């Protein structure tokens, strides 16, 4: 817009005059430069750069402490992880040992059960054989007793049929004399 105004003024033959404001003989850019120098001077006089440096140093120290703490935590975590890995390996070894012991015990129990069963079968067989032998002896004794009774009864019958009291007396006398 300023260009349009200048162009219009030049077209009318007027030369544009531009006035620059001044204060105490200095232009605005000089005042800005002087103010900046004053501000920087105040900063240096109040030791602002040193305070900023101290604040930055303090922040750096805090960050270093946090990094050191993080490193310690990482080392502790790695140590814990290694410890738990060792414990897991030990637990796996213990579990394998327990399984082996259980298998061994199971084999021993099976072997003992087999031997106990064999011993029981042998005892039962012996008891059955003894019972059969006892029954055989009892049957033989019963047969002998029955046979002896039958023989005695038959002999008594034969003697009763073939002997009378007179012939018995002669036999008894003969038997007594033979003694």
Per-residue pLDDT of 137-174, as tens digits, reads: 999 999 988 998 888 888 878 777 777 777 777 777 88
Q: Is 85 a residue whose pLDDT tops 90?
A: yes
Tell me the β-bridge partners of 23. 26
What per-residue confidence (pLDDT) applies to 50?
Answer: 84
| CB-facing half-sphere around the CA of 166: CA atoms within 13 A | 0
At residue 8 the predicted structure's pLDDT band, cuts being 50, 70 and 90, is: low
Tokens representing 59 are 């922040």
| CB-facing half-sphere around the CA of 179: CA atoms within 13 A | 5
What average pLDDT does the chain have?
A: 85
What per-residue confidence (pLDDT) applies to 5?
Answer: 55
Tell me the β-bridge partners of 26. 23
CB 32 within 8 A of CB 21: no
Q: What is the mean pLDDT of residues 91-99?
A: 92
What per-residue confidence (pLDDT) applies to 83?
Answer: 94
CB 10 within 8 A of CB 16: yes
In a 3-state reduction of DSSP, which class is residue 41? helix
What per-residue confidence (pLDDT) applies to 140?
Answer: 92
Domain chopping of the chain, boundaries: 30-157
Q: What is the mean pLDDT of residues 118-129?
A: 92
In a 3-state reduction of DSSP, which class is residue 101? helix
Note if the pTM is more than 0.85: no
Per-residue pLDDT of 15-68, as tens digits, reads: 556 677 777 888 888 889 999 999 888 888 888 888 888 899 999 999 999 999
């Amino acid at each position: 817009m300023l260009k349009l105004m200048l162009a219009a003024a030049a077209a009318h033959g007027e030369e544009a005059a531009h006035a620059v404001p001044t204060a105490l003989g200095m232009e605005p850019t000089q005042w800005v430069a002087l103010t900046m120098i004053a501000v920087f001077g105040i900063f240096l006089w109040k030791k602002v750069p040193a305070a900023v440096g101290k604040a930055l140093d303090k922040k750096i120290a805090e960050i270093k402490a946090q990094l050191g703490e993080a490193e310690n935590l990482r080392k502790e975590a790695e140590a814990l992880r290694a410890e738990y890995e060792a414990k897991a390996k030990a637990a796996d070894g213990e579990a394998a040992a327990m399984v082996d012991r259980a298998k061994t015990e199971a084999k021993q129990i099976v072997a003992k059960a087999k031997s106990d069963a064999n011993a029981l079968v042998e005892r039962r067989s012996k008891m059955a054989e003894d019972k059969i032998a006892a029954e055989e002896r009892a049957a033989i004794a019963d047969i002998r007793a029955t046979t002896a009774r039958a023989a005695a009864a038959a002999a008594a019958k034969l003697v009763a049929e073939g002997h009378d009291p007179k012939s018995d007396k002669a036999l008894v006398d003969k038997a007594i004399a033979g003694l």
